[in-house]
Amino acid sequence: MSDAPAAQAASPAGRPRAGSMRRPLQPLDLPIIKHLNSKRVILASASPRRKQLLQQIGLTNLEITPSTKPEDLDKKTYGPWEYVATTARNKCLEVYSTTLDTHLASIPDPSLVIAADTIIVTRDGRILEKPRSEADHMRMLKHLRDTRMHRVLTSVCVLAPREDARHPGYDIQSHTEETKVYFWEEGNGLPDDVIESYVKTREGVDKAGGYGIQGIGGMLLVEKIEGSVDNVIGLPVKKTLSLAEKVTFQQDRDEYDDGEGSASE
């Protein structure tokens, strides 16, 4: 076996050259992350993107239990903000309730449940979710292009059981965040054939609005955004951590001064 690679990587004194060995990334040293990594944490979502976002910040012990509650709220009755917030809340409560109903003595109750819902709101006020067919996918993306700007709303809801007997037995907090997304114009790099080509990749079939900003869709369709990209991907991570801290470490506070978009019980 040749020693050439080893010789190239080492200094004349036999020591590795500076920069030849890179230390692995270390997890965030935050109390909430260290606490949750020793607990049972449920992500009430089948989205691999939400799971990946949480894993990137160090939450590595996630238990995936998607909600089975139908997302059938009447869009004509609910405004966009109320619609997405209510859907996320319903998912969170349904998964928590189901988990308690199927409790096993050998498995501890969950310490935290995280749920989220993402919708697209067009400039004319329509709520878009996932495309229903290839033709619907084409119509959806062409409409987003022709109206230039749309809003992505993600509502995240977190729940933790209370340590005392106070009704209803848990603390729940939610927050809805908005990001504005601008598509390229038809005459500036986004003609119909480009949209058709993207639709055929099927990257966006399982995503609200029919595109993935972290993939080909972000490179091909999106000109710019105003707000956080993780919100468009499906989970405003910083806010999720903040809510988790509140329901975990601040249960003795009756009211939270979190500002607009949050609620507690």
* Contacts with 122 (C-beta within 8 Å, 6 or more apart), sequence order: 128, 143, 144, 147, 150
Residue 99 tokens, joined:
């988990």
Q: Which long-range contacts (CB under 8 A, 24 or more apart) does 48-55 make?
A: 49/212, 49/214, 49/233, 49/234, 49/235, 50/116, 50/233, 50/234, 50/235, 53/230, 53/233, 53/234, 53/235, 53/237, 54/114, 54/235, 54/237, 54/240
Active site residue 257: no
Return the beta strands (E) in the chain as ranges: 41-43, 62-64, 112-121, 127-128, 149-161, 170-183, 222-226
Cβ-contact 96, 214 below 8 angstroms: no
What is the C-alpha separation between 150 and 225, in angstroms, rounded?
A: 10
Angle at the Cα of 87 from the Cα atoms of 32 and 176, rounded to 5 degrees = 55
- Which amino acid appears at position 176 of this protein? T
Q: Which of 109, 117, 193, 206 is catalytic?
A: 117
Cβ-contact 131, 169 below 8 angstroms: no
Catalytic residues: 117
